[in-house]
Structure 1
Amino acid sequence: MTTATQAPVTDEKGHIDPAASLVGAAGAAFVPVQTRSERPASFDPAAFGVPTGQEVNWKHTPLNRLAPLLRDEPADEDAITVTVTASGAELAAPLREGEAPRGTVLIPEDLPSAIASHRADGAVHVRIPAEAELDEPVVVEVASAADAATGELHRGILHVVIDAGAHSRATVLLRHGGAVALAENVEILVGEGAHLEIVTVQQWADEAVHAAAHAARVGRDGLLRHVVVSFGGGVVRVNPSVELAGAGSQALLYGLSFADAGQHLESQVYLHHKGQNTVGDVLYKGALQGASAHSVWIGDVLIGPDAVGTDSYEANRNLVLTDGARADSIPNLEIETGDIRGAGHASATGRFDDEQLFYLQARGIPEDEARRLVVQGFLTEVVQKIDIPALQEELTAAIEAELALTAGATAAGASE
């Protein structure tokens, strides 16, 4: 007796798909997305459908809380205000859908991004002229315009295009605050030899919901420093995607989050090494405290077949301060050429380092103060990578305020 066996089903890259090897009676098979580079992209919201939570990019997201951003409807009138302070840069005319450079880098990969791309009437267009060196940061401030006292979140939609000309030097700060449900796209073009820093700060009210897609392309010998800082908001999901297209281009991708009780803070990072001799450095750090505080970090790095000489490393580290908090951390690395300088990834989630606490306490520092110093030291590494001194001071104070909540909760628990 002989048994027929079916060869494993593979995709064009040779990845074996066990699920697709099981063919039904009709001869059809479901082939799930295998890698980050194969994720579908479209400007049409109908191409995605409403996520169910089974999709690889939605598995860890509370979709019920993100529901206002999953409806393909126009934004509520005057839901947000956008103020741009562009000293030394040009605030160009808004870009309509299909008007370049809008849509040349960012092709939506999920439903909220596709809705934002389709529904945004005009994209804010910040242009840094070639050779310009800006002494002050360009500030894009996004705030809720509607009164949140009604208990109903208004829906806002925003598309921002940041275009850094060749050999320019600039910093762009995006600030978010208030109570709103915001779907946001940020499109970033870094010209040849340009150095651009993007810092996006989320300090929303507790009820706010925010889904943002950032997409960047870095030209030859260009450098992008991209920093995500998320402290406030009910659900905040900021997903940066960077293509190192030009030879010698660099991307420094950093993140800082502090999740409190009931907060969900998420970032899915994608770094695509495409040109030769490119450099990537990814470091995201987070602290969590309180019941159901949740952070999610997914880091995907693709070193393409032509990206010889690549040097890339990604790391995510989380510090859990109280019971009931949870951090999900998933690093992924895909290499399609063997001619690289180096590539690696790391992930760690844990509580306080007992040795550090013992060292400090042995020198007469009280336990609460020792814990504060450990957390500050842990998070300050990312704060110091932001090239805006005033913002560094502000974030240090915000971390102190978060730690005061931890100390208060600990004291209250001890007295019960």
Structure 2
Amino acid sequence: MSAAVSANTGLIETEQHGLKAHSDGGDAYVPVQSRAERFTSTSVDDFEKVTGHELEWKLTPIARIASLIEGELDGSVPTLEFSDTSGVTATWVERTDARIGTAGAPEERASANAWSSFEKALAIDVSGEEPVEFVVSRDGTDSTPRAGHTVITAAPFSRGLVILTNSGDAQLTENVEIVVGDQAMLTVVTVQEWNDESNHLASHFARVGRDARLRHIVVSLGGGVVRVNPSIHLDSTGADASAFGLYFADAGQHLEQRVYVNHVAAQTKSRVKYKGALQGATARSVWVGDVLIGPHATATDSYEENRNLVLSEGPRADSIPNLEIETGDISGAGHASSTGRFDDEQLFYLQSRGIPEDEARRLVVRGFLAEIVAQIGSAELEAHLSAAIEAELSEAQGY
């Protein structure tokens, strides 16, 4: 064994058989220890190039969406259709508008690329205290990679349902900010029914005020690669958030959701429930659920779950629930995940009552997904989605 005194520290460094003493300081890499410690920035230049080995990208087909992550984006104002709803206004605002950046900031390069590229943001303001429904429809554009930004603000005591529908052809990366004022009740629904060649990356950031309630619902049925990541922060006492998701992946589709719920304040509550069905040998879904209960979030009540129903040979569903608790004084917290085929007992029960096997399978799938559809609160959209799910099932062999 040999020893030497370091000129920098004055400490004795030892070597044995060619090995040096381990150092935890200096330039040693220290991994992120908490979900809350992830780097954030609104500038794409602050993020390293994506290789596909990063924690937030390793389950995503990077090659199919490289133009949205690394390429230049068209940030011009798109053509959208708005419903005429009393108590809700929608206007295009400059990047300097005070509402922009109030709900959160990007944690990854695609989100930052969109933030750096958009020219104007769509500002949706819900102010009425009577429940209202407001629909924004985007019927595709073209194959040009584009950036978008939307800010949804619910004034204190307001009530509203905001629906964002997407269809047609598009290559889009966007950010959606949601701010729920004190004692407001807001539901935000985003529906992806893109054509097969479309790719869509979306980061949603939400902040929920004192005794306010947010219901956030993601429905992904169409598109090539669709990745919608909600990040919900319960910053004020009594804040309540429910995050629901429904997806139906066919062959060639990659549908991904990464949900983050951050309990910051005391007496906050969250429920996360995502359900998906997969059919076709190359169908793929990814669900990652992160719940953080911070050191000041006492009396928190939280639960998250993801359920996947596999309808054929070959699909892959990744389901990763994570729960991080930094206080010992909570009301409850838990998570659950399951991926599997049909419940044989359910099928037997239906068949024993004279229902043919094919119809019994369809009933099970419809019932499995109907729980999420029923959370939306719009009879017209619920009927549309039920018909869309039926169309998906009609294309599957044996259904």
TM-score (structure 1 length as normaliser) = 0.88
2:130 maps to 133
2:140 maps to 144
1:105 maps to 103
Q: Partners of 2:333 and 2:26 in 1: how far apart?
A: 40
Corresponding residue SS for 1:377: helix
1:385 maps to 375
Moved more, 279-288 or 111-120: 111-120
Q: Partners of 2:207 and 2:172 in 1: how far apart?
A: 24
Contact 2:75–2:119 (8 Å) recurs in 1: no
Q: Partners of 2:231 and 2:96 in 1: how far apart?
A: 20
Q: Partners of 1:331 and 1:2 in 2: how far apart?
A: 48
Corresponding residue SS for 2:60: coil
Corresponding residue SS for 1:172: strand
Q: Partners of 2:34 and 2:251 in 1: how far apart?
A: 32
Contact 2:72–2:145 (8 Å) recurs in 1: no
Corresponding residue SS for 2:307: strand
Matched, 1:114 2:112: yes
Structure 1 residues 369, 90: CA separation in 2 closer, same or farther (over 3 Å shift)?
closer
The one-character-per-residue Cα deviations of 1:249-296 (angstroms, maximum 9, x if unpaired) are 100100000000000000000001111111100000000000210000
Superposed, 1:73-112 pairs within 5 Å as 73-75=72-74, 80-91=78-89, 93-112=91-110
Q: Partners of 1:204 and 1:269 in 2: how far apart?
A: 21
2:58 maps to 59
Matched, 1:245 2:235: yes
Contact 2:73–2:114 (8 Å) recurs in 1: no
Deviation at 1:30, TM superposition (A): 2.5
The alignment yields a C-alpha RMSD, in angstroms, of 2.0
1:198 maps to 188
1:365 maps to 355
Q: Partners of 2:139 and 2:76 in 1: how far apart?
A: 14
Q: Partners of 1:236 and 1:258 in 2: how far apart?
A: 11
Q: Partners of 2:92 and 2:387 in 1: how far apart?
A: 36
Pairing partner for 1:296 from 276, 286, 298? 286
Corresponding residue SS for 1:360: helix
1:216 maps to 206
Matched, 1:186 2:176: yes
Q: Partners of 1:93 and 1:377 in 2: how far apart?
A: 39
TM-score (structure 2 length as normaliser) = 0.92
Deviation at 1:33, TM superposition (A): 2.6
Deviation at 1:86, TM superposition (A): 4.5
Deviation at 1:83, TM superposition (A): 2.0
The one-character-per-residue Cα deviations of 1:119-139 (angstroms, maximum 9, x if unpaired) are 11110001112x53243x111
Deviation at 1:49, TM superposition (A): 2.2
Contact 1:22–1:29 (8 Å) recurs in 2: no
Deviation at 1:48, TM superposition (A): 1.1
Contact 1:216–1:243 (8 Å) recurs in 2: yes
Q: Partners of 1:76 and 1:192 in 2: how far apart?
A: 32
Matched, 1:270 2:248: no
Supply the AA of the counterpart residue of 2:46. Answer: A
Moved more, 48-57 or 219-228: 48-57
Supply the AA of the counterpart residue of 1:69. Answer: L
Pairing partner for 1:344 from 318, 334, 351? 334
Q: Partners of 2:379 and 2:28 in 1: how far apart?
A: 55
Q: Partners of 1:294 and 1:34 in 2: how far apart?
A: 29
1:175 maps to 165
Superposed, 1:35-54 pairs within 5 Å as 35-54=34-53
2:15 maps to none
Q: Quote the sequence identity (%).
A: 53
Corresponding residue SS for 1:88: coil
Corresponding residue SS for 2:297: coil
Moved more, 65-74 or 308-317: 65-74
Deviation at 1:172, TM superposition (A): 0.1
Supply the AA of the counterpart residue of 2:137. Answer: E
